[in-house]
């Protein structure tokens, strides 16, 4: 709907409160973060930023081995969980899109993990994977296998966190992809069946191309969410053992709320923001191209 010329001042007046609130809640904190990133400020020693340091925080960041370790953990986690969740979610969505007995009940059960708060999920799985009283090691003992320190071993801790994330967020993939599958038109599939196309050919040349917008949206949202994971890891391992599960979000938290190095924390946050914007733009450009 197009506003008449005499209605525009009223329209601007009506959106002014929302614009002011948006500016206060987003633009001011973002600007303050940029300001902090070029200043030295130990929050434990003073209440105001001290001394302009220019780009020294960013120079320090790129020389920081803990930053690169956190970057490596973040992207290993990101790639593995998103790919596993996508393929598992697509497989289950294809099954649930068929007419099977009890389909609605099965769909509801699949969505339950997504409904739980991440902190609750972390606590539940921390108990399940406990090396002394965890139920998983109990089942291992029943088949005469030695107990494992799932969250205390640098070789298994990150894999255990990935397992938990896949358990909780594969339902999101199922939900988005199932909605995409159910919105596909019937005509191309009927034509393929008449032409004698196999199930694989139909899936490859019709289902996947038509489903691509839903696939890209699901991947984009899960990539952003997995990139900033914090709560589950904080509850289950707090980034340990050593730094084997410390992601960028945890590293930012550690510098800001344990070391109170707010200037360096702001620089880390800006770099995280730039990275996720670049990833999101890659997804969006691919979506527009398609």
Mean pLDDT (whole number) for 221-244: 93
The tokens describing 127, both together, are 């108990």
Which has the higher per-residue pLDDT, 158 or 26? Answer: 158
Q: Which tokens go with 133?
A: 């009283």
Reduced to 3 states (helix: H, G, I; strand: E, B; else coil), residue 127 is: helix
Phi first, then psi, for residue 39 (nearest 5°) are: -130, 155
Structure confidence at residue 81 as a pLDDT band (50, 70, 90): very high
Task: Give mean pLDDT, residues 124-142.
Answer: 91
Whether residue 45 has pLDDT greater than 90: no
Question: How confident is the model at residue 119, as a pLDDT?
Answer: 92
- Confidence check: pLDDT of 1 > 50: no
pTM: 0.88
Q: Which domains, and CATH codes, for the chain?
A: 47-289 (1.10.3720.10)
Q: What is the pLDDT of residue 125?
A: 95
Look up residue 104 and give its two tokens.
Answer: 């609605």
50-63 average pLDDT score: 90
Question: What pLDDT score does 199 carry?
Answer: 87
Cis peptide before 241 (omega within 30 of 0): yes
Distance CA 124, CA 143 (A): 23
Which tokens belong to 3? Answer: 């506003």
5 pLDDT tier (thresholds 50, 70, 90): low
Residue of 167, 210, 166 whose CA lies nearest to 188: 210
pLDDT at 234: 94
Q: Is the pLDDT of residue 216 over 60?
A: yes
Q: Are 161 and 238 in contact (CB under 8 A)?
A: no
């Amino acid at each position: 709907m197009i506003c008449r010329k005499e209605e525009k001042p009223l329209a601007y007046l009506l959106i002014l409160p929302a614009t002011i609130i948006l500016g206060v809640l987003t633009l001011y904190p973002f600007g303050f973060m940029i300001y902090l990133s070029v200043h030295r400020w130990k929050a434990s020693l003073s209440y105001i930023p001290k001394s302009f340091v220019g780009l020294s925080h960013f120079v320090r960041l790129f020389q920081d081995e803990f930053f690169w370790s956190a970057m490596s953990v973040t992207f290993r986690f990101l790639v593995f969980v998103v790919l596993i969740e996508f393929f598992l979610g697509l497989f289950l969505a294809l099954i649930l899109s068929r007419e099977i007995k009890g389909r609605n009940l099965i769909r509801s059960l699949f969505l339950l993990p997504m409904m739980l708060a991440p902190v609750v999920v972390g606590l539940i799985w921390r108990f399940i994977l406990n090396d002394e009283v965890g139920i998983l090691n109990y089942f291992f003992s029943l088949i005469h296998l030695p107990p494992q320190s799932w969250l205390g071993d640098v070789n298994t801790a990150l894999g255990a966190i990935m397992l938990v994330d896949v358990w909780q967020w594969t339902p999101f993939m199922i939900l988005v992809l199932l909605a995409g599958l159910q919105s596909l038109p019937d005509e191309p599939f009927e034509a393929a069946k008449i032409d004698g196309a196999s199930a694989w050919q139909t899936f490859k040349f019709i289902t996947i191309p038509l489903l691509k917008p839903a696939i890209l949206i699901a991947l984009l949202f899960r990539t952003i969410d997995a990139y900033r994971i914090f709560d589950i890891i904080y509850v289950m391992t707090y980034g340990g053992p050593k730094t084997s599960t410390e992601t960028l979000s945890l590293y930012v938290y550690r510098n800001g709320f344990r070391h109170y190095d707010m200037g360096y924390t702001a620089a880390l946050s800006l770099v995280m923001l730039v990275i996720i914007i670049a990833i999101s733009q890659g997804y969006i450009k691919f979506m527009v191209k398609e």
